[in-house]
Structure 1
Amino acid sequence: MKHFITAIFFCFSVTVFAQIDKNDILFTVDEEPVMASEFVRVYNKNLDLVKDESQKDVDAYLELFINYQLKVKEARRLELDKDAKYIREFTNYKSQLTKNFLSDSKVTETLVKEAYDRSTEDIKASHVLIRIEETNTDTTQVYNRLLELRQRIMKEGYDVVKNEVHNGKTVFAEDLGYFSVFKMVYAFETAAYNTKIGEVSMPFRTRFGFHIVNVTDKRPSLGEVTVAHIMVANNQKDTLLVPETRINEIYKKLQQGEKFESLAKQFSDDKSSSSKGGQLAPFTGGQLGSQEFEDMAFSLKDKGQVSEPFKTDFGWHIVKLIGKSSIQPYEKTKAIFENKVKRDSRSKLINTSLAKQLDEKYKVVDNKDALSYFETIINDSYFKQAWIVPVDLEQEKIFLTIGTKKITYGDFAQHLFKIQRTYANKKMSTKALINSIYSKYKEDEVILYNKENLEFENEDFAHVLKEYRDGLLLFDLMEKQVWNAASKDTVGLKAFHANNKDNYMWEDRVEGVILSSANKNMIEKAIKLLNKGKTIEAIEAELNKDEAQNIISTSDIFELGDKELPKDFEFKEGISKVYEHNDAYHVIMVKTVISKSHKTLDAARGKIVSDYQNQIENDWIKSLNERYNVKVDHKVLKKVKSLILN
């Protein structure tokens, strides 16, 4: 049913575009046209993303779209598109976006599925590497040497060979431990995954040299884990609160049988999870920013098991295992693996396959005679970084043709000159050198030509690029005209605050101490001690004897609505009644009640700046409407409405 609905929506979208003439102009900004097809495309794209129902109204959305175009027009008038920072950011984005559109989809799919399949298994292995330059073609001796070592490992064992041959310079024999996909270069990874447990691979080559890999074990990957945690942050508002002491107090309460979820709600400083009893979203190895946290989470074996307190860079934690699951389904993780594949060395396979397709698309014409010619002008000086381009080289002679692009002898000669340091002190024939360089050069040039023309050949790419180009301009413009203007305009900000004071109010607050316990009797004892004038420190000392953690205190200023306060809390000075809240009992000793009052500019700066920015933006948009002449073609608008709404 889901696929059927998707198909209907797709057909509807196609119908909409089919009925709008590509030359239909919806409106102009100072005679510059904005096409109806662009408006419909953006409207349909954003329809499911907007939460404000008014933005789904065509007229309301058109007003937003016109304002957007006015801002882009203003940004260009101010020549923000010529700013060096803008050009650099846009170029970087275009380069990254281009990579997402340049690939052989069949080869990519195969490599992505292969990477996913490998991710389900960890391999334990050791290897022997004999270093040899990537350009060295005389490899027979090295290959045969590794064949001998392979036989010895199978007969005598790896450790014997390792101790004899490893020198850390030209020969490396190393235990690698467990690893999985993307941890090694692709050729090594492939050899390891294709070798059975207890076997040694045949020699194979990577950019480091020749290897043999000895696989000793394979195990299922760790998969995914779901945990809850209680965190006491390193930085505390209460300077008397020691994080390690507080986490140990909480741990004692857990050992006394109090609920993990209740303690998380009361005391965890991770506000994003405390209201959910400390539960975090599921994660896999390497996903979090704390290795210590991951190690502890994955070390828990039984559902409901709770760790001892441990420290990370963020603070002190206690972790509870909610559940573990095997690796996620392929379709759920496909996009993640595709991004990794495109950044990995195996991306070369995708580029090579793509270049072959583009050869046919752009009708690439080779000049075989050119390669023979370049073989004759290369000599030993090239391998000493002393080669120069011959004076009598026919610079303008055509070397390679890609579509409408002509690459000359001079272009290729300059490329040879620039990269000769890569081949310094190498040993190879001039024929092998030229063929190797040309193969890579041609592939790169074909893909470069595709990149340069992608915006004109691929409509989806052109749309995304335009959205980012305009969006980046808009960001720079808003930063200059609105955001910075509001935050730096001290006088204007003060005046805005003074004129809108009633919008920035403190709710009723209390300064005091909350005493909390899972045991109602303990809270009642605490009340008696408070009535006797005992200090908080004395009360804790008396009620938390014999290493028991019966009660915890929290000192602060609490505002109406704070999660620490019971919903029916009565704001008055003195010792409160006993409240039941978050599965525990609480008494609040209120030192001072602070009535509802106006917030100072500093106290509400964030909200005030935001509201002031909105006012500046609204005034600015009015001025843009006065600066630029906008004309809407209402006949085209009517057509657009009928297509969208019917």
Structure 2
Amino acid sequence: MKRFISIVLFSLIASFTFAQTDNDIVLKVAGENISKETFVEMYQRNNPNPEKKIIKKDLDEYLDLYINFKLKLAEAKKLGLDTLPEYVQEVSTYRKQLIEPYLNDKTVTEELVNEAYERTKEIIRASHILIMIPTNATPKDTLEAYNKALDLRKRILKGENFGDLAVQYSEDPSVKDQNTNEGQNKMKGNRGDLGYFTSFSMIYPFETACYNLKVNEISMPIRSQRGYHIIQLTDRKPAPYSTATIAHIWVNFDNHSSPQECKNIVDRAYADIQNNVPFDTIVAKYSDDKYSARSQGVLAGQRVVNMPVEYTDMIIKTPLKEFTKPFETRYGWHILKPVSLVPVQSLEVQRKDIEQRIARDVRSYRTIEEFIKKSKEEYSFKEDLTKLDAVSGIITDSIFSAKWDVPENFIGGEVIFTIGDYSFTQKDLAEEIESMQQEQTPEYIPTYVHKLYKKIANEKVITYADSKLEQKHPELKLTVDEFRDGILIFTITDKFIWNKSIVDTIGLSKFFENNNSKYQWKERADATIFSFGKDIDFVKAKKVIEKGFKKKKSNQEIQNLLAKNFKVKSDTSKYFDYKWNRFEKRDNRVVDKTNWKVGVSDIIEFDNDKKKYIVITHAILSPSLKTLGEAKGIATSDYQEYLEDEWIKKLRKDYTYKVYDDVFNSIIN
């Protein structure tokens, strides 16, 4: 079995590839040449003492194992185990994990981490005006939206009120007053005011634009998926806390007939607070926030962005555990009490959380963008965007119903881009677009084609650079090959050895019968060990056990006699317990302390063991053959070793291998 495990360990060793000449080939197995350099490198990697001088005996043993390893790999590939879907998928999944560090620029990642952390140390407040761009926008539509946003910026710079223009022109519905409670109340619009926020609160381009502004500065139009934004930064200050736990009462405009009724309710709640009525009683009576009412009005772990701007202001200026006076927001009337504030933690404390947030956020694409940029430079990416016009010209609106096919007469032979030795043609793009189509809102076709092309081209660049990673990074090839070979060895060994030894019960029985002399019991003591966990009268206990033994009482009956004599009515295991088995010498230290004769032992004790023991030796059993059931573990292991030996003999007959002795011997010389 040890030998078998050694063979399996070869699965964790890659096949190095070096320039080979006929003079340095040490071994040829199943048609594969192995160089002296490769063989020595692998020997050293497997040698627990690589500094030790190479000894011929050790090298001969390793050579034998290595040949077996290579023969198993050859057989696995011959059987097509390397083409099984589950094998291909497992190797692919593992490789994707391995290549991630090569795709993600560590410098960019660290920049993102530091940038996000620095932003958590500040809270900023901004207002925006959104000019939306329709999904099917033409370049003309996009330009018109941009110019509209630019015109609004000019008007703001000339002195017009930002909030007034937001109400009039912004297509963000939250800017305007909204009817609530079936039109009886109005929820005030935010007039473009987004309140306070920090990193990871807004989409990354918007967040970055805001943090790059000075207070009261007006941005140029900022593009997002929704359209163009004009942003005004209205405040920025050191973050007073990372998260806050508050207790609050909220009287919601939506739940009452008028704003005045809400004001009356919150005033009654505040009066109760002043009169020292228990806060949980007040919350249950007045608050419309049923979620926090279940926890006496407490909201834990609230970030700045989770709360109305008025809450942030109140938390900052109200001492801990003191109540604010009633205040109004666009959602209703409120009273709150800051319970506890968690300050902004150090980068070391926040790093893991920030890295996880980056991984889930669009900003993580910056690392991929950097990889794409470098790959384009490294592999001489060249493109001609004018070639997209021909593809746009053959696409019809049917593509937005997922019913478009590439016309049969479309040749599309002109190259759109090249990278390294790979070319991507118009026909390639058309076929990619055909395969990607799905029902969607119609778009302006040239814009649609350009958008998809950019996505496809980036994917092709990544794929091309990916295909060169092992060539560029030998350590990656080493690790991938280690895993690939390891899975193959595991799969074929399971097929011919492990699984067969389990399911082939007839073969195992026959093997056991032919070798049963190997599986024998030595002399054994049929014995019961009584252990005592509490201090009791051990002389008395021994007499009880001897009496029970003489009367041929069962172990449980003797246990019951002990309980009766020592008046133990429940949980006897705290006082005494027993264990029966058949013990060979050196199986059990307690039994080894007996005189190995039938009868009751003296009281047995050990240093550093609070328990004491008395042993009944029922019989001394002579040596005997084990049954298969008794020897199954070791017999199965021996059967596996037998199967492997037979399998190796067969592989050495089925495949050719040759050791070049002069090269092999030169390793030692």
TM-score, normalization by structure 1: 0.57
Residue 509 of structure 1 contacts residue 557 of structure 1 at CA under 8 Å; is this kept in 2?
no
Render the CA deviation track for 1:522-570: whole Å, top value 9, x for unaligned. Answer: 5444333334436313424645469897414143425344568465344
Name 2:335's counterpart in structure 1. Answer: none
TM superposition shift of 1:611: 1.0
CA shift, 1:347, in A, is 5.6
- 2:614 is paired with a residue whose SS is strand
Q: Which residue of 1 aligns with 2:47?
A: 47
* Shift in Å, 1:56: 8.8
- Provide the C-alpha distance between the structure 1 equivalents of 2:486 and 2:369, rounded to a whole number of angstroms: 34
Aligned in 2, Cα 1:339/1:632: closer, same or farther, shift over 3 Å?
A: farther
2:420 equivalent to 1:403: yes
Q: Counterparts of 1:349 and 1:176 in 2: how far apart (Å)? A: 35
Which of 489, 494, 499 aligns to 2:509? It is 494
Change (3 A) 1:218 1:55: farther
Give the deviation of 1:444 after TM superposition: 1.8
**d(CA) in 2 for partners of 1:445, 1:617:** 46
Unmatched 5+ stretches in structure 1: 1-15, 122-132, 167-172, 181-187, 190-194, 200-213, 222-326
1:578 partnered with 2:579: no
Cα distance in structure 2, aligned partners of 1:72 and 1:97: 23
Residues 80, 86 of structure 1: 8 Å contact kept: yes
* Aligned partners of 1:29 and 1:629 also within 8 Å: yes
For residues 481 and 143 of structure 1, do their structure 2 counterparts lie closer, same or farther at Cα, with a shift above 3 Å needed?
same
CA contact (8 A) 1:482 1:616 kept: yes
Distance 1:110 1:526, change over 3 A: farther
User: Aligned pair in 2 of structure 1 residues 633, 425: CA closer, same or farther (>3 Å)?
Assistant: same
Q: How many residues align?
A: 470
Give 1:443's aligned residue. 458
Q: CA deviation at 1:607?
A: 1.4
CA distance in 2, matches of 1:382, 1:507: 82
SS at match of 2:628: coil
Q: Deviations over 1:337-395 (max 9, x none)?
A: 99999899876443232222111111112332245666677776655545555667553
Matched-pair contact (CA < 8 Å) for 2:387–2:414: no
Q: Secondary structure at the match of 2:630?
A: coil
Larger Cα-atom Rg:
2
Cross-structure match for 2:488: 473
Pick closer, same or farther for the CA change 1:502–1:457 going to 2, 3 Å. Answer: same
2:64 counterpart letter in structure 1: E
Given candidates 657, 662, 666, the residue that maps to 1:630 is 657
Partner of 1:605: 632
Describe the shift of the 1:624–1:149 C-alpha distance in structure 2 as closer, same or farther (beyond 3 A).
closer
1:459 matched to 2:474: yes
Amino acid at match of 1:462: K
* Larger mean Cα displacement after TM superposition, 456-465 or 560-569: 560-569
Gaps (5+ residues) in structure 2?
Answer: 1-15, 121-131, 136-141, 146-169, 176-188, 198-239, 241-245, 256-290, 293-297, 307-311, 317-337, 549-556
Output the amino acid matched with 1:59.
D
The correspondence for 1:503, drawn from 504, 518, 525, is 518
Match of 1:28 in 2: 28
- Aligned equivalents of 1:63 and 1:547: distance in 2? 60
> Which amino acid counterpart does residue 350 of structure 1 have in structure 2?
T
Match of 1:358 among 375, 378, 390: 375
Of the candidates 579, 582, 590, which is equivalent to residue 555 of structure 1? 579
What does residue 413 of structure 1 align with? 430
Rate the CA distance shift 1:160–1:68 in 2: closer, same or farther, 3 A: same
**1:63 partnered with 2:64:** yes
Native 8 Å contact 1:28 1:632 kept in 2? yes
CA contact (8 A) 2:418 2:424 kept: yes
Query: How far apart in 1 are the matches of 2:656 and 2:34?
Result: 13
TM-score, normalised relative to structure 2: 0.55
Give the superposed CA RMSD. Answer: 5.5
2:545 paired with 1:530: yes
Residue 25 of structure 1 deviates from its aligned partner by 0.9
Aligned CA distance change for structure 1 residues 344 and 532 (closer, same or farther; 3 Å): farther
Written as runs of structure 1 = structure 2, the 5 A alignment for 1:104-253 is 104-108=105-109, 141=172, 148=193, 150=195, 217-218=341-342
Q: Is the 8 A contact 2:388 2:426 kept in 1?
A: no
Matched, 1:424 2:451: no
Between the aligned partners of 1:604 and 1:390, the Cα distance in structure 2 is 72
1:383-429 CA-to-partner distances (Å, cap 9, x unmatched) read: 554555566755333233222112222333333344443x7348x76
- 1-structure distance, mates of 2:507, 2:457: 60
Please tell me whether the aligned partners of residues 573 and 590 of structure 1 are also in contact (alpha carbons under 8 angstroms).
yes
What aligned pairs does 1:267-286 form with structure 2 within 5 A after superposition?
A: none
Partner of 1:620: 647
